[in-house]
Structure formats: structure tokens, C-alpha cells
Amino acid sequence: MAKPERLIYLALGGAGEIGMNMYLYGYGPEGNERFILVDMGVTFPTMESTPGVDLIMADPAYIQARADRLDGIFITHGHEDHVGALGLLWHRLRAPVYARRFTAALAKGKMERSGQPTDAVRQVDAFPHQVHAGPFRVGFLPIAHSIPESSALVIDTPAGRILHTGDFKADPTPLVGEPFDPAALRAIGEHGVKAMACDSTNVFSPHAGRSEMTLIEPLNALMRDAEGLVVATTFASNVARLRTLAEAGRQAGRRVVVLGRAMNTMLKTAHAAEVLEHFPEVLDPLDMDSVPRRDLLVLATGSQGERRAATAQLAQGRYMGLELKPGDTYLFSSRTIPGNEVPVSRILNLLSERGVKVIDDTDGLYHVSGHANRPDLAAIHELVKPQMLIPMHGEHRHLVAHAALAAERGIPAAIAPNGTVVDLTGDAPVLAEHIDTGRLYLDGTQLIGALDGIVRERIRMALRGHVAVNIIIDERGKPMGGSWVELTGLPDNPKMRDGLAGALEAEIDRVLSRAKRNELADDESLDDLIQRAVSRISNDAVGKKPVCKVMISRLEA
Amino acid sequence: MAKPERLIYLALGGAGEIGMNMYLYGYGPEGNERFILVDMGVTFPTMESTPGVDLIMADPAYIQARADRLDGIFITHGHEDHVGALGLLWHRLRAPVYARRFTAALAKGKMERSGQPTDAVRQVDAFPHQVHAGPFRVGFLPIAHSIPESSALVIDTPAGRILHTGDFKADPTPLVGEPFDPAALRAIGEHGVKAMACDSTNVFSPHAGRSEMTLIEPLNALMRDAEGLVVATTFASNVARLRTLAEAGRQAGRRVVVLGRAMNTMLKTAHAAEVLEHFPEVLDPLDMDSVPRRDLLVLATGSQGERRAATAQLAQGRYMGLELKPGDTYLFSSRTIPGNEVPVSRILNLLSERGVKVIDDTDGLYHVSGHANRPDLAAIHELVKPQMLIPMHGEHRHLVAHAALAAERGIPAAIAPNGTVVDLTGDAPVLAEHIDTGRLYLDGTQLIGALDGIVRERIRMALRGHVAVNIIIDERGKPMGGSWVELTGLPDNPKMRDGLAGALEAEIDRVLSRAKRNELADDESLDDLIQRAVSRISNDAVGKKPVCKVMISRLEA
């Protein structure tokens, strides 16, 4: 007997965490479903858990093993946590990529920089147009977010309709990009929505979200009243904010300068895709000197404290010939993402030391979030009236709180972190099975597995230091000369005559002189003897047990 | 002609940062002042900038070089950022240490654990009692904070009176510890205060601080309504909070268990010093099984996400036989210190995955700060009416904002980050000179300088990986056998036949085979050749330039 068809949801990334979004929908007989993939994003490394890593993304192994059944990749919007991994992982899947115009331009950029074919990315119109992909029909429903053209996906399947919200905020006047449209969502809902997979990021924010429009007056006042140069930083991709800032500057008689590669690229792409109109004319940074400071507004990258961005460089000295002075104003028109507090705070203080007036988002006057708050989530539940809810785009506790919010309206919800296969076929979500998911790291130019141990070794070196030991065994099987120890990142003990290195060499020589013939003949035994000696002496001398690598050279007879 | 006497303030730590407090006051002819030192605190390392470091403290070099002119060390209260470095640094100064009873007990503990004489710590009574120390008379004025017995210092000098607030909050009902006493402060002010050095931590908090007492009702309701076990975590030293929590638990019919060494030690010390009364009887953790979960309240260490504390262990599985279950409640009665967001968030999610209801300070119901907010600072300015203000205990931008607040009342203020000598002799503060300050790290068992480069090497290894290269030069000055490369923490390139190590060895051998006789004879030239080859090949192969150590063994003729 043929297995019955089923409709499933499976997050490979983005559920149980914020970042690296990658969601699968499948339809067909169990074990033989056809799939579509929604978003291929990255998340950013931290010194805490991923030192030296360049980017982090979900491991697509599950869908890679079933790539012949993948009918399309759909990108909801152009943020890095939704499209950043496309160029790096596409060659493992080789399915057509669908996105709207601006997002497609950004996606093609990702493909190009990774040497992948840009024509795999296909530009599509907004809903009611739908792409046919296997058993799925997928439409891009415009929704407001902090980047233009963000879209919810209307996914029609033989088992019913899914609304995948993507990232959104309930903003009727986002200034750039399409507004949040209750009527359109209600219409979708009236058609009948089986399941809604919904953004959970701001479920802990108790008040309804404010509109981008509420920033106009405070920003105008700030630009007008500031006595010197004003620099404003925000996410490069927040094109609406860039325009709000620039327009406030223009009204205050300020010429607008844009500093930072990412921001310039984003504005150019937005212009080309016709999602950005009425942006004031931009002044070339080389001409800044010709304009009085009082008449300048600089838009700069680096709101999250990124080391090489314009903001960090301005805080430390100068960037593109610009140096900040006492009386200048620096506006952070952004929220600090958790984990970035320390670098951002360091920059705020460097600016303060230069006599610059620093304004951040403490009072909420100069920034609004791109995500729906708790009451906004309740509103979309009410508009769409889905049969079931799948909270996504959130840490575990966000998913739990969002499910509880749905329960208030009697909507059943599945708490489904990465790897949880949810069967949506029936009247309520069923947790069907759990598959292994993982993370890949872009480390230099290589993709490595999070569990490969490479980063763990680096963390161990960062905490404990490194000892390299070199010994030579002569033709007769005897240690030749003394051992040689090279320390990296270890404190010394000034009370020891020859220091830690000397003490280690002396102890290793002592151990070798006492070693038995068969121990000296065997690399593994020798390695073990030396490792233990290094650990013991280092711990006694300086209180650390370093990472130790032993290199044994044997002279041939 | 004799130089005139002067009164100076100099922060060695704690001004321009939050943590590692260490302040000097000096009186006498310039270059021959007598000194007192206020507080010797630590700050905590981060993986970001100080991986592997155990503690960070101000370098006392300036006063160490003048230790013969140091007349006393005064500890305002028992928090780690005020007393944590005492045991580690006291032997460099060897001056008598003064503190009130509970603080003295904690200070003696620090001395004892570092093998220093505990009788250097002298217990003193509160103001109006004053200690005579050189030209200074110093009194401990009780003030409210998040640890019992916190004291402002009333420092009388021939040039006038200084009020050094220490850490404080304007709480008239702190429940444990002495209240904020406006009348006492007004009396101090009426006597005439030349300069007030004042806590700036919360200058950006716009609303008046709330009292510990406002927590009683919400906590009582929480303990009463929770269905399962309740675990509450806060700072071990926040003895008042521990009592508020325990009392709420007792009223809800819950037995109180204390988990975590630091918390047990702190409660014991507080009992012994008679600063903690009416604490409910504590249940031995071994007897937890005999009490229904519904009737238990566990107080646990680890509110900041510390890896080995009770909270982290409970989140990961079990601690002292206790395992959390769905329906239990975990309360973070604490604020997350900037920099700790990521580890705390990881724990919140681990708890959420266990089905535990997690309550944090988002709504402000279950925690109040230990520091004075902006209106509270304005109030103490008004009570004390100092002739001048020195904002302290804050990052640079806090100092600037606090100075601006003082300016609103016409009080001149000195923005004096670490190393700034402020002359308080005249009518307004004068920035007299700047001296070099620095930081010491406790790294394992050794104290090292922050600029020694040891931690920088560890950070480089964490970001770039490590390559050890071993070559042998024979008696005739020729390379013998092949080179040997040992990689730590580097990704491999699967497209290379012999991997990165093989490619490096081949390239080093090639470089050596082409090297001139004089290059082979010179260790420095060889090292340089090899370093460059390793950097070039690693970058081409995997996009990383590792830390490289070259070990050249030369066989003797």
C-alpha cells in the first residue's frame, strides 16, 4: 500500500536561535516528499564560542542528500541572516532560486562573489503571482520590515495553504518599502490558512511597535539643533532608515556623505532596483572639506561595533580624511544586537573621550525595531486566523512564549526547534520525528563542520596557551642533545631561574633519561610521557595546562 | 622655597570603566604627598579581549613606587570590584587595611587565600569614628547598596573635607543593611564638603531608583503561585535580596535550600558579622528529596551565566542531585551585566528546553539596582552641596553625563579617567597632570602586565591557528630529512592532495633547497624565510595566516 501524502515543516536553521534562517517544506509520501527551501542565511561568529570564524550557517546536509527532490529555493528578503549563505552553499543543492527584484539583485551578488552562476537566481513578481515548484505554488506577499521588499510567502499545497511570514513589523508607514497591509492579510486568511510560520523575535516586547514615521520629528530636531558635524550609523541594509536620516539632514541644510562600502553598495542596489526614491544627492567624501562641519551629515557603517567599519575607525582616529572633534554628534540609530554590547560600548566611550556627543537608542527616540512586538503578533494571529501556528525566527524561549500567545486564541502551536519535523497534514501540528542538524563555519576560505574540533582547538589555545616540544632521537635510539620547548601565550614564573621553558626542558630531559628503551622506541609512548610532564610542570609553575604538540625526529642509522 | 601643600585625587582604576576600583587621595607638597588608597577591586575577563585570564585589576605601580608614603588602605564595601585584588596586591604596598566588620571579614578572607597576613586588616566602627592616617582622618558613613555595610568615606584633610560615596543607591528601606539617610548626608554637607567623588554607574537611568521593599509583593505572589519548584538566582553578595527571596519563599510555605559555594560563604560571613537577621532556616541540599517540589525554594549562584556555577549546571542537567522538570520556575532576580548577555541567554534557552518557566528582569518586577539613578544623583548633589564633583565608577560617557548633571546645579566637575591627577586645593578642580596607569592580569597563578603580549598571542592563536615547524640542519650545514609541520586549530583544504600540512612541508623544503649557504647558517634568516613561506601558503590554501613558531635544530660536527 502506498504511504499517504503528508505536508511537513522542518527548520534546518533559525528556530531555537536568532540568525542563519533555513526552513524546509515538504509534500508527498513519507520518505519521498518534494521540497522547497526558504532562505539560506548566516549568523555571525563571536570570540566567545567561534573565534576566527568568518561566518556561521546551517548545515544543509539533510536537503543536500535529497537535492534531487528540491524544487526551488525562495529568499524572503535581503538580510544576511536570510540570504548570506546562498553563494556559499548553492553548489550543494543546485535548485533554482526565486526572489523579488531588489532581493534578487543582492542574491546575485552573493552568487557572483562565490563564483556561482547568477542566472540560477530568478526574479519574480509579487503575489498574486505564484511560482510553481513541484507540488507547491509560492507567492511573495509584500510585508513591512527594515529592508525594502521583504515578503511573506503564500505557499499553496495540495494539503492547504501555508503563510510563512518571514521577518516583519506591523508598520503602516515604513517610508521606504511596502507597508504592513491588514486587508491583504485578512484576505489571505479568509481564503483559509492551514499553518502560519511566524517571526517570534520580539514576542517579549510588550507594547505595539512604532512606525518608522515617528522618527521623522525627533531626527529633524536633532539634525537642526546639533552644533557641529553629525554622524549617524545604522544597519547598511536599513534603506528606509538611511533615507529618513538623510532627509532629516537635508531639511536641516546638511549635505549627506555616505561612508563605508556596505552602505554605498546597498544604496546603489536599492536605486537600481527602484525601491528607493527621493534620496538626497550624496556628496563625495573627497569634497567634505569644502563644506562647513555644521552643514554635514555623515552616514556611516558599523552600528554593531564591527572592527573595520567606518564607525570603529572614526572612533579610533580618522576615516576617509574625516576626524571627529569636540562638539560633533554621533547618533546610533540602531539597537545593539545581544553579544555586541562590549564592542559597541568601547566605541561609545572612545567617541566620548574625543568630546563627541554620543546619542544611542536608550530613549527609543531614534530607532524602531524591524520585528513585530507581542501585540502585533496577536494582531496577525487575528487577521490570518491560521489553523495552527509554527513560531520561528527566535530562541527557544521566544518560540515557547509565541506558542503561549497563540494558545490565548485557541490556536494550536508546535514548538519546533531546528531538526524537528512537524507534520501539518491533520488538524493540529504533530511532532513527527527529529533529524540531526548542525552548523557549518566559513573559516578563512574553507567550510568546516562545527563539530570538527578545529575551533575547539583554537579556544583551548586561547585559554591555555600552546607548547611545542621538539626532541631528536639518535640512530641508537637515545635522546640527542636536550629537548627544545617553544611557548606561545603562556605567562612566565619569575621565581624560576630558567623560566617556564627551562623548567619544562629540564623535566622532559629528566623523563627521557629515565624512559625505558621500548618507551623511547615508540612515538605514542613518548608523546604521552612528554604531554604529562608538560601538563604537570606548567600547572605547578604558572597554573595552566597548555595545549601541547610534541615533534619527535628520529635520525636514521 | 618649599612647594605649597596640595590635595589631589587620582584614580588608578574605576574611572573611565566600570570595575577594578582603586582611588588615591594625596596631601602634601607636590612630589612629596602622603597618600591613602580607597578600594582594591578586580574586573572580570572576557573571551573577547582577555581569554584565559582569571582576574583583571589596576596596576598599583604608581603607589607601589611611593609605598613609604601610603598611610592606609580603606575598603568601602565587600564587592569583588572593590576588594577582590586586596590579597593579590597587598604585599606590594604593605599598608594597614581598614574596613567595617562584615567587609573586614571578607577582606581577611582575600588575604588568607593569598597567603597574606590577615592582621593587616583592621576592623573599624562607623562614622563619626574616624581613622587617623597621615594628614587624613577617614570615617565610614553607612550608605545603602546591594551588599550590607557599604560605606561612603568622610575624608577630612587640612585642605577640607572630601565625601567619597563609594557605591550607593538612594534606598530608604533596603531591608538588609543600613538605609540611605538624607539627614546624615545633609549634616555632612552642612559641615562643608570641598569635593564629592561620586558613583556614576546609573547616570543614564532616568527614573528615581526603587526600593528593595517594592520587591516583596511581586516575589510573594510568584512564590505562592508557582506550581513546582522555584529556583532563584542573584549575586551571591546581594544578601538583602537573598533574604527577600528566602522570606517570600518561607511565607509561601517553601523550605529554602542554598546551592553554590559563594552564596553559602557569603551568608555564613553575613551571619557571623551580624549584618543578617531573620533569615529563614536553611534546608540541607541532601534533604531536598524529603520535601515535595512544590514546597521548595532553591537559591542558586550563577546569575551572570558563569560556567561552573549552580545555575549553569542546573541548566545543563543536574547539580547536587537536583534536576529541573517541566513546570518548575527559574527566576533571575538580577540584571545581566553588559558582556554577559550571550552566556545568560544560552542558559535561559537551556532552561526553556527543559520545560522550565523562565522569568528574568524584563519587567523590572523582581530586581532593583544597587546604584543611584539620575534623579537620585541630583538629590545627593543637593543634600551634600559639594564645592566640586568628581564623577567616578563609570565609563567615560557616564563621567561626562554626571559632570553635565552637576553643571545644572552650578557645581564644577572634573572628568578624570584613570591616570588623571586632579588638584582639589583651590575653588574648582584642576587637571594637574596625567600619569601612566595600566592593568595587571591574574593569569593562572601569575600576575602579568596587560601589555606583556602574552594574551595578545593567545588571541592571535584563537583567530589564526598555530603552526609549529621543525627542521634539522646537519653537521655540514644542510637541511636533513624533510621539514615537519604540526598544525593546531587550522582548517584543511580537501582539494590539496597532502592537505595543508603536506603543502607547507613541501614549500618549506623547496625554500630550504634554494636557500643560500649563509641563509642556512643563520637562524634568523631561516626563521624569516620559513615564516614567510608558511604565511603565504596558508593564506593561499585556507585563507588564514597562522601564528608560526620555527624550531631549528643543528647537529654538531
Q: What is the pLDDT of residues A429-483, one digit of tens each?
A: 999 999 999 999 999 999 999 999 999 999 999 999 999 999 999 989 999 989 9
Give φ, ψ of A239 to 5 degrees: -60, -35
**Cβ-based burial of A260 (10 A; exposed 0-12, middle 13-18, buried ≥19):** buried
The Cα–Cα gap between B467 and A468 comes to: 9
Distance from CA of A353 to the nearest CA of B (A): 7
Interface test with A, best of B374, B396, B418, B474 (most A CBs within 10 A): B396
Residue range(s) occupied by CATH 3.10.20.580 in chain B: 465-554
How large is the average pLDDT for residues A129-155?
Answer: 97
Give the Cα separation of A142 and A125 in Å (integer).
10
**Average pLDDT taken over every residue of chain B:** 96
* Nearest-CA distance B484 → chain A (Å): 8
pLDDT digits (tens, 9 = 90+) for A363-391: 789 999 999 999 999 999 999 999 999 99
A46, A353, A446 member nearest B493 (Cβ): A446
E-state strands within A185-314: 195-199, 230-233, 255-259, 296-300
Beta-bridge partner residues of B479: B473
Task: Give the Cα separation of B291 and B389 in Å (integer).
Answer: 55
H or E segment to which residue A323 belongs? strand A322-323
The answer to whether the CB atoms of B458 and A465 lie below 8 A apart is yes
Query: How many residues are recorded in chain B?
Result: 557
CA atoms of B149 and B178, how far apart (whole Å): 7
Across the interface, whether the CB atoms of B457 and A488 are under 8 A apart is answered yes
Residue B325 corresponds to which cell in the numbers above? 522538570
Cβ–Cβ gap B446/A348 under 8 Å? no
Nearest Cα to B380, choosing from B130, B170, B549?
A: B170
Check whether B557 has a pLDDT greater than 80: no
CA dist., res. A445 & res. B533, Å (int): 18
Distance CA A433, CA A420 (A): 6
DSSP string, B203-269: TT--SPPPPGGGGHHHHHHHHHH--S-EEEE--TT-HHHHHHHHHHHHHTT-EEEEESHHHHHHHHH
* B318-319/B547-554 β-pairing: unpaired
Report chain A's mean pLDDT, rounded to a whole number: 96
**pLDDT score, position A556:** 79
Cβ neighbours of A457 in B, within 8 Å: 465, 488-489
For domain B5-207+369-449, which CATH number applies: 3.40.50.10610, 3.40.50.300, 3.30.9.10, 3.60.15.10?
3.60.15.10
Query: What does the pLDDT read at residue B364?
Result: 81
- As a whole number, mean pLDDT of residues A247-252 equals 96
The Cα B213–Cα A428 span in angstroms is 46
pLDDT of the residue at B338: 86
The pLDDT tens digits of the residues spanning B55-75 come to 999 999 999 999 999 999 999
| Cα distance between residue B161 and residue B416, in whole Å | 19
Tell me which architecture the domain covering A212-359 has in CATH: 3-Layer(aba) Sandwich (3.40)
Substitution target from A88, A373, A488 for chain B, most B beta carbons within 10 A: A488
Instruction: Answer whether A443 sits within 8 Å of B544, measured CB to CB.
Output: yes
Give the closest residue to A55 by CA, choosing from A101, A16, A110, A99: A110
Burial A22-45, CB ≥16 within 10 A → b, else e:
bbbbbbbeeeebbbbbbbbbbbbb
What CA–CA distance (Å, rounded) separates B108 from B265? Answer: 13
Contacts of A481 in chain B (CB under 8 A): 553
Measured distance CA(B10)–CA(B434) in Å, rounded:
9
B462: closest CA of chain A, how far (Å): 5
Contact A552, A527 (CB under 8 A): yes
B489/A455 CB distance under 8 A = yes
pLDDT in tens, B22-58: 999 999 999 999 999 999 999 999 988 999 999 999 9
HEC sequence for B295-339: HEEEEECCCCCCCCCHHHHHHHCEECCEECCCCCEEEECCCCCCC
Q: Tell me how close the Cα of A476 comes to any Cα of chain B, in angstroms.
A: 15
pTM of the model: 0.95
Check residue B1 and give its pLDDT.
Answer: 60
Nearest CB to B553: which of A338, A470, A493? A470
Evaluate if residue A1 carries a pLDDT over 70: no
Residue B62 to residue B321: CA distance in whole angstroms: 50
Q: What is the pLDDT of residues A334-349, one digit of tens each?
A: 999 988 988 999 999 9
Q: Is B551 in contact with A462 (Cβ distance < 8 A)?
A: no
A466 and B461 within 8 Å at the Cβ level: the answer is yes
Other C-beta atoms closer than 10 Å to the C-beta of B495 total 8
Rounded Cα distance between A224 and B461, Å, is 48
Query: CA B115 to CA A453: how far, in whole Å?
Result: 40
Q: Where in chain B is the domain with CATH 3.40.50.10710?
A: 212-359
According to the model, what pLDDT value does residue B3 have?
84
Rounded Cα gap, residues B14 and B394, in angstroms: 7
Nearest chain A Cα distance for residue B454, angstroms: 5
Task: Tell me the per-residue pLDDT of A48-81, one tens digit each, with 9 for 90 and over.
Answer: 899 999 999 999 999 999 999 999 999 999 999 9
Give burial (CB, 10 Å; 0-12/13-18/19+) of A364.
middle
Q: Which long-range contacts (CB under 8 A, 24 or more apart) does A533-540 make?
A: A533/A504, A533/A507, A533/A508, A534/A467, A534/A469, A534/A485, A534/A504, A534/A508, A536/A507, A537/A500, A537/A503, A537/A504, A537/A507, A538/A467, A538/A490, A538/A500, A538/A504
Mean pLDDT value of segment A152-172: 98
In which residue ranges of chain B is CATH 3.60.15.10 found? 5-207+369-449
Asked if B330 and B226 count as a contact pair (C-beta separation under 8 A), the reply is: no
Contact flag B468-A491 (C-beta cutoff 8 Å): no
pLDDT tens-digit map of B353-363: 999 999 998 77
pLDDT reported for residue A245: 97
* ipTM of the prediction: 0.94
Cα–Cα distance measured from residue B16 to residue B19, given in angstroms and rounded to the nearest whole number: 9
Grid cell of A454 as nine digits: 578545529
Residues of A with Cβ-Cβ distance to B454 under 8 angstroms: 465, 489-491
Nearest CA in chain B to A490: B454
CB pairs under 8 A between A and B: 199
**Residue B304 pLDDT > 80, yes or no?**
yes
What residues contact B358, with CB distance under 8 A and at least 6 apart? A397, B329, B330, B332, B348, B351, B352
Q: Do residues B101 and B276 make contact, with C-beta atoms less than 8 angstroms apart?
A: no
Q: Give the closest-approach CA distance of A247 to chain B in angstroms.
A: 29
* pLDDT for A449: 97
Q: Which residues of B touch A444 (CB under 8 A)?
A: 491, 542-544
DSSP single-letter state for residue A213: G
Q: Show residues of chain B in contact with A49, CB under 8 Å.
A: 47, 342
What pLDDT is attached to residue B556?
A: 79
Is residue B472 within 8 A of residue B479, CB to CB? The reply is yes
Please tell me the distance from the alpha carbon of residue B534 to that of residue B527, in angstroms, as a whole number: 10
Tell me how close the Cα of A544 comes to any Cα of chain B, in angstroms.
Answer: 5
CA atoms within 13 A on the CB side of B202: 23
Cell 505572589 -> residue: B221
DSSP one-letter code for A418: T
Q: How far apart are CA A12 and CA A31, in angstroms?
A: 17
Q: Which fold has domain B465-554?
A: Ubiquitin-like (UB roll) (3.10.20)
What pLDDT does A557 receive? Answer: 63
| Alpha-carbon span A171 to A185, nearest angstrom | 13
Q: Poorest-confidence range of A100-104, A537-541, B462-466, B551-555?
A: B551-555
Residue B169, phi then psi, degrees to nearest 5: -130, 155
Neighbour tally for A91: CB within 10 Å:
13
Grid cell of B417 as nine digits: 579617567
CA–CA distance, B369 with B334 (Å, rounded to integer):
8
Q: What percent of chain B has pLDDT over 90?
A: 95
Q: What is the pLDDT of residue A481?
A: 87
**Cα(A38)–Cα(A98) distance, rounded to whole angstroms?**
10
Cis peptide bond upstream of B128, omega within 30:
yes
Name the residue among B396, B454, B472 with its Cβ closest to that of A553. B472
Place B339 in a pLDDT band, splitting at 50, 70 and 90: confident
